[in-house]
Amino acid sequence: MNENETVPEVPAVTREDALRMAIIRVNDQRFPLLEMESSDCSLPLTSEDEDALMLMNDVLDELDDEAAGLAAVQVGYPKRMFVLRKNGENAAYINPIVIRSSTRMKNDFEACLSIPGGVARTKRPKSVTLQYVDIDGSVQTETFTGFWARAVMHEMDHLNGKLILKHLEQQLSKHVPRTDFGMKLTPQKSKQIAQRRAKNRQAKAARRLNR
């Protein structure tokens, strides 16, 4: 570098960009956190828990109608809490437990903030009843239906280390052909079987010639 060279300006990261970047995505080195089960929050909440909730609220405020919910693990804090954003307001659900869910299911498309552009068709109960601790430390029970039942189960999956990619893998595995003995016929396995059959045919042909 000489004295006449100019150093290119690095664009400043805005607060809005920083909040969006707080979400762990597939190309993030923190991504393995999303495949781990989150641990319970101690009560009363610690200052670290409160800081994480504040960050989650700020992220959802920034995203506004782009997001319906966010789990703590998605911002790198693997504790059992998530925030839903309904009608422009955020509500925290701490140490949530599903105590009842409908046997009636609905299969629909679902996206995830941590997998931009990724969509999977998932089967979810039409209604879910949740027991949780609210931000004031009180135990609450709430029933969700329709879209919000789906949103709650999506966030519960995050707390259990399950991404919508797992649902997609499960769907694909159901369509993988199998042998009569139940073995999955992956492309590699199909190729191996075809090669083995070809060798057997060649061996039979050779035996006939030698008779």
Tokens of 207: 């035996």
Rounded Cα distance, 56 and 41, in Å: 15
Strands (DSSP E) along 34-177, which ranges?
A: 69-71, 81-86, 89-101, 105-111, 119-125, 127-133, 139-145
Rounded Cα distance, 45 and 64, in Å: 26
Q: Which amino acid is at 41?
A: C
- CA 211 to each of CA 172, 199, 201, 202, 203: distance values in angstroms, whole numbers, following the listed order: 48, 19, 16, 15, 13
110 is catalytic: no
Annotated catalytic residue within 35, 50, 155, 169: 155
User: C-alpha angle with apex 76: 73 to 80, nearest 5 degrees?
Assistant: 30
Q: Which amino acid is at 69?
A: G
Rounded Cα distance, 77 and 86, in Å: 22
Catalytic residue list:
155
